Every structure is written in C-alpha cells, then in structure tokens.
C-alpha cells in the first residue's frame, strides 16, 4: 500500500496539518522508524499476469491496470491471486468474451508517476482502465489539491481516447497496525482527506471513483490477520479478493455490461466488522487541526 522507505514521511505530514509541537513531531517520526522495523519483508513478488483471459479467438475487451503496489498486487502468494488477474477473469465471465489484461502499475508510484503509465496505456487503446493510487501520495507529503488535480488530468487523458475509467481512491492507512498511535491516526485522517478530494476530481473528469477506505476499512480493521499479508502492510489474497469485489461492478458499468448500475451505499459486512466501532481520529487531533 505504501513504500517502506517513505513511511517516515507520514510523521512529517503531521506538521503540515498545522502547528504540531516539535516534541510531537519527534514522537511521530520515532513511531515511523519503529513501524518500519515492525513491518515484514515479502518473499513473493510476482510478474504481471498480462494475458488474454477466456481466449476464444474473438476480439478481446482491453483492460488496463495502473497505479501503485495495490494495483500491482504486492502481498499475494500466487499469481492467480493478483487483482488484475481476478478482475480480468471476472470481466471475461460477465462479458462472455475474451479480456486482454495489460498492467502498467508500478509499486511505489505516486500520482505524479501516473503520467508515463498513461502514456504507455493510451498507445494500446484500452477500453476499460482501473487506477488504484494515493497511499504513496500521503507518505511523500504531496498536497491533497495537487494530487487530486494530477489524477483528474490522467483520467481525462484516458477518457479522451474513449476509455471508461474506474479509480480506487486512497486506502485508509489507519488500518495498518504496525503503524502505532498517534501516527496511525494521522495517516487515517490524511488518507481520508485525500480520498474525498480524489473522488470529487475523478467524477468531474468523467471517471467512476470507488472509495476503498470507506468500503474496505471496516473489514481490514476487524479481520486484520486475514486481510493483510505476511508483511502486515500490504493486503493478502483475501484482502485483494475483497478489493476486487467492490471494483468489479463499477468496471462492468464503464464497460457497458451493467447499464444503469450504481454503487451501493454500504457493502455487505462480516459479523466481525459489524462488531467493531468505526475508528475515529482522536479528539485532541481533531480539535487542533479543525
């Protein structure tokens, strides 16, 4: 979800929220260092699962996947579990036709890094594109307004070539347990601000935003052992399955497979998620930065 070497920047981002004391910034920075130590190292980094799914010789629907490590699928233990593969297979089943998957996403990317990814994608004339981006914008301290503006520019470029675009907005960094409090609350607050700005920018640019934070955070919080990979940082195969579950319907919509479909207000929750109260930014942080 976010790069380990830039995790310290989450702490520094707190200073940009306005007027934190030097002692508190020092505390958050130290917590970032400890989180980097606590987060594990993944053994499996799989190549992109680019292929034609359900190939029967007919002209395939062209699907492009762009963004960061969550779009790549860092954290799974088998290539069949990669989100691009899951979505391409599901789209092929819904469309009852082949789907050609092309992955341009690169782990560690920020929204600035979408430019060369979109450059490459538009040359291949995709019909449907999925972008997952935002977590590294938080850790690299990119301004929310700039991040949303840059994202909208790339969505417009894809829409200009006739491509339907779905954007999975910034996930909730407050679900990552190796990040201690209050640093985790800072990441939670900042990632939700970014996700809201992304959603508005994507709509105005003609894309369909999907709030990964709102839709997935309750499950990732309640079932963290299942939802996170062995590094306790990136999603596991179960986590990616949950993410693709909320992304498939919007992709079917922009592909013209489900005309008239609209995003449900609240997804289905597990009993574990329903038993957990929604996390909140601590009152002291809300008051200080209101």
Residues annotated as part of the active site? 69, 231, 234
According to DSSP, the residues that pair with 63 across neighbouring strands are: 101, 128
Instruction: Locate 256 and state its tokens.
Output: 């013209």
Residue 173 CA to residue 186 CA, distance in Å, equals 9
User: Which residues 6+ apart lie within 8 Å of 193 measured at CB?
Assistant: 144
Torsion 36-7-175-89 (CA) sign: negative
């Amino acid at each position: 979800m976010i790069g380990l070497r830039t995790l310290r920047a989450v702490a520094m981002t707190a200073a940009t929220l306005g007027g934190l004391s030097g002692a508190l910034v020092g505390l958050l920075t130290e917590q970032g260092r400890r989180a980097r130590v606590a987060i594990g190292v993944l053994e499996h980094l799989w190549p992109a699962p680019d292929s034609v799914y359900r190939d029967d010789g007919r002209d395939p629907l062209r699907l492009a996947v762009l963004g960061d490590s969550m779009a790549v699928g860092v954290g799974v233990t088998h290539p069949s579990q990669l989100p691009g593969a899951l979505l391409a297979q599901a789209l092929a089943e819904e469309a009852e036709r082949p789907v050609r998957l092309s992955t341009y996403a690169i782990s560690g990317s920020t929204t600035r890094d979408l430019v060369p990814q979109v450059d490459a994608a538009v040359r291949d004339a995709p019909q449907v594109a999925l972008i997952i981006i935002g977590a590294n914008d938080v850790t690299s301290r990119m301004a929310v307004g700039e991040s949303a503006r840059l994202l909208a520019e790339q969505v417009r470029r894809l829409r200009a070539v006739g491509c339907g675009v779905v954007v999975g907005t910034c996930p909730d960094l407050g679900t990552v347990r190796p990040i201690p409090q209050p640093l985790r609350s800072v990441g939670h607050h900042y990632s939700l601000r970014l996700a809201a700005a992304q959603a508005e920018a994507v709509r105005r640019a003609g894309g369909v935003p999907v709030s990964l934070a709102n839709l997935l955070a309750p499950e990732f919080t309640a079932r963290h052992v299942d939802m996170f990979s062995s590094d306790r940082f990136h999603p596991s195969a179960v986590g990616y399955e949950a993410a693709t579950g909320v992304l498939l319907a919007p992709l079917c919509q922009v592909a013209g497979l489900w005309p008239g479909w609209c995003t449900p207000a609240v997804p289905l929750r597990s009993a574990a998620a329903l038993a957990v109260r929604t996390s909140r930014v601590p009152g002291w942080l809300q008051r200080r930065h209101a």
